[in-house]
Amino acid sequence: MARRPAPISTLSDLLSRIGPVLSAAGDMTPIMIGKGYLEHGVGAGPRVVFVPAPKGRWGAPSKIGAGHLAAVTVDCLMLVRGAESGDEATRLSAAEELADRTVNVIRHLAPGRTQGSEWADDSPLPVDAYGADIALAFSFTRQIADDPKIREAIASSLTPVSPEDTMRPNGATNDTFDVSVTTERV
């Protein structure tokens, strides 16, 4: 039985595991994280650069009743530059192959947490020359577990906004009504 990878819980977990997986598969392309590694232009070497978006969004969990209170989704841009042969006809082939392999790793490591979106030629020049790039984007969603300690702290430290009304215990008004329903044919 194959050893299962440790669970992926954050985007950082996912990004930190892509390089070792590609290396184990024989691909030694550098994996870089952060916009400081963006080098766009002719002469830049092969690479995969991940740039997490500065803002994400949070909302309802993906599954109600599974012990999660919320979910956080963060977008990430992936810029891929493959090693090129300089052949005009196959200019994007190496970048496409590297992008395919990287997407393969992402989907294997976090299949239910990632959703792909954009895929575009992001080459620095509009002509056939060295510098073929592919820009991809994906979203990563992680669940936020319901913390029982927080729930207990809320229950023990908060008091009701308004004091209990002794005239209406448990909402009872002690008023009774008789209702008789009749139907008339008109």
CATH code where residue 130 lies: 3.30.2000.10
Among 14, 20, 83, 79, CA closest to 50 = 79
Higher pLDDT, 79 or 161: 79
d(CA 166, CA 173): 10
Q: Are 75 and 25 in contact (CB under 8 A)?
A: no
> Is residue 101, in this structure, part of any structural domain at all?
yes
| Tokens of residue 158, six digits | 């908060």
* Mean of all residue pLDDT scores within the chain: 82
> Is residue 100, in this structure, part of any structural domain at all?
yes
> Is residue 125, in this structure, part of any structural domain at all?
yes
| Structural domain count of the chain | 1
pLDDT tens across 8-44, in order? Answer: 789 999 999 999 999 999 999 999 999 888 766 666 7
Structural domain including 95 reads 11-149
Residue 6 has pLDDT above 90, yes or no: no
Helix (H, G, I), strand (E, B) or coil at 13: helix
Distance of CA 64 to the CA centre of its chain: 18
